[in-house]
Amino acid sequence: MHKNKLILITSFGLLLMFAFAFNSRATAQSVANSPAVIDQLIIQYQPRSGIQLKVTSEFESQMQNLSAEAGIMLEYARPMSGDAHVLRLPTKITVEEAEKIADKLSALPEIAYAEPDYIMLPITDFSAPLMLVEPNDTYYADQWHYFTPVAGSYGVNAPEAWDFTTGSSSIYVAVLDTGILNHEDLVGRWQGGYDMISTSAMGNDGDGRDANPLDPGDWVTANECYAGSLARDSSWHGTHVAGTIGAATNNGMGVAGLNWVSKVIPVRVLGKCG
């Protein structure tokens, strides 16, 4: 059961990491690579304002107020989900011009947000070729799970993702596992952490819960966990997972991590016998 949880946590973490990688590229490129013409804006009123753009006796005055602030005649187009509204511009304008108008509307106290209705393009439409960034770590060539999927070797195609991003310093990845070792390939790649194991016997570190996430090992002797349980060496599993997520990369040693920038926060939740 514990193994299944670890696999789920790790897989979900990797999925989020790569979702972030591709979304970051799309967001960053949306303005630069969209057509330089915008003909709609999206706005939302503050909930406390009590204002709704509906066809009422106040509708025309609301639109006049918005147009006056924008410095251009705005026409109501349609409602959106989440109580947002689409406003149509009288003519197509550049992205920069649309952003300036959106900034003016955002400054109104009753407006929660305003933004251009950007035209987004799929990644495959980008003209810039992929550089396929690859690190120089000693054992990178053995990390088949990072490579392009082929029959019998289903990797995650990390080099293409690294061409979009190698991580963000504003993101931290919590690893709930056996803790972490002071490994040379993890120097500077983790911070903080906590030991959530409450009993010293299971924690194998002589104390209970504390702010020390270091892994003392989870080795057990025969029959230690239950009658008939087998002896086993320490797994150091938390260090393995932390390395897969965030080992120091492109440093000419050890292995590569999927995320080269974001730091790991190790949390000990598994000790001797689980």
Calculate mean pLDDT across residues 46-57.
61
221 and 165 fall within a common domain: yes
Mean pLDDT is highest, among 44-53, 152-161, 242-251, for 242-251
One-letter amino acid for residue 226 of the chain: Y
pLDDT at position 47, please? 80
Dump pLDDT digits (tens) for 171-225: 999 999 999 999 999 999 999 999 999 989 999 999 999 999 999 999 999 999 8
CATH code for the domain of 69? 3.30.70
CATH code for the domain of 218? 3.40.50.200
Question: Structural domain of residue 190, as residue ranges?
Answer: 2-28+129-268
Among candidate residues 81, 116, 151, the one where a domain is terminated: 116
Calculate mean pLDDT across residues 253-261.
94
Q: Is the dihedral of CA 142, 148, 149, 150 positive or negative?
A: negative
175 and 63 fall within a common domain: no
Q: Is 145 part of any domain? A: yes
143 and 243 fall within a common domain: yes
47 and 103 fall within a common domain: yes
- Residue 183, Cβ neighbours under 10 Å: how many? 17
56 and 161 fall within a common domain: no
Question: What is the reported pTM?
Answer: 0.57
Q: Is 124 part of any domain? A: no
Among 238, 254, 233, smallest CA distance to 193 is for: 238
Among candidate residues 70, 88, 116, the one where a domain is terminated: 116
Confidence of residue 120 (pLDDT cuts 50, 70, 90): low
Q: Is the dihedral of CA 80, 107, 35, 166 positive or negative?
A: negative
192 and 255 fall within a common domain: yes
C-alpha 259/C-alpha 16 separation (Å) is 11
Among 2, 5, 3, 18, smallest CA distance to 245 is for: 18
Average pLDDT, the chain: 82
107 and 147 fall within a common domain: no
Are 85 and 112 in contact, with CB atoms under 8 Å apart? no
Q: Is 175 part of any domain? A: yes
189 and 83 fall within a common domain: no
Among candidate residues 116, 144, 172, the one where a domain is terminated: 116
pLDDT at position 54, please? 57
